Amino acid sequence: MIYPCSDPSAWGPSLDAAVHAVQRGEVVVLPTDTVYGVAADAFAPDGVTAVLAAKGRGRQMPPPVLIPDIRTVDGLAREVPPYARALMERFWPGPLTVIVLAQPSLAWDLGDTHGTVALRVPDHPAARALLSRTGPLAVTSANRTGHPAATTAADAQEQLGAAVAVYLDGGPSPLGEASTIVDATNPAGLRIVRDGGVSLADIVEVVGEDALLKPDSAEADADTHADSGADSTPASDGSDAPYGPDGPDAPAADRGEEPRP
């Protein structure tokens, strides 16, 4: 069922329905600033499995996690480098996803993450209002794998149908394109995994060019992390880049693949 979620003064019943669905371990669709996302409680393994099933993909393509604010980071991540925190402080809420090392004690199962998690604070009032009540949500783009990312609730419902308990309709997606994804799991520097809503120039302005790994270094680092078990998961587009374009933040027309919120 689609619930209206555009007017903060009237969206209370809609958010209630979504919160109750999440608490029951069900799947919901929510608006974000990038594209619509399909979500479940990040700490409910059955819910995460249902999200992946709705998408038509497996554990090797784990979803990112949306959080309500930057204060949530230290409960979910460890050894976050200063340059990663600087990017979070500058671009959150907004279209930047940061891959970090996950706290090993967390009782969750997002799939084959190899000890990492991709975090983002969305710049959308309805999304943040929901997250403030549910806590972290495992979220990927509201579409079937291989199909365009939904930029309206109706688009999402057409693709996902009864696999979703509640559709929150916040109107057309403001940005309609992917978040930028950066990998901050290497102490030696930052790796750009995917271009998106935050430009390379904007990132360099915050952290400086010296904080960025050169392409050769990034490839070597990916190999090292894969060997050590500390690398992030394979990219959703089937490449070796972690948390790649397939998801709620991916570009709507990302080289023929789908986006991620």
| Nearest C-alpha neighbor of 161 from the set 177, 172, 150 | 150
- At 31-77, the pLDDT tens digits run 999 999 999 999 999 999 999 999 998 888 899 999 999 999 999 99
On whether the CB atoms of residues 166 and 12 are closer than 8 A, the answer is: no
pLDDT category at 217 given cuts 50, 70, 90 is low
**Mean of the pLDDT values across residues 85-112?**
94
CATH architecture classification, 2-228: Alpha-Beta Complex (3.90)
Is 130's pLDDT higher than 90?
yes
Is 241's pLDDT higher than 70?
no
Is 237's pLDDT higher than 70?
no
Concatenated DSSP letters of 21-47: HHHTT--EEE--SSS-EEEEETT-HHH
Q: Domain ranges for the chain, please list them.
A: 2-228
Is 86's pLDDT higher than 70?
yes
- Within 8 A by CB and 6+ apart from 199, the residues are 180
Model pLDDT, residue 260: 55
- Best-predicted range by mean pLDDT among 60-74, 208-222, 230-244? 60-74
Range in 8-12, 107-111, 208-212 the model is least confident about: 107-111
∠ CA 189-71-246 to the nearest 5 degrees? 60
**Mean of the pLDDT values across residues 177-193?**
93
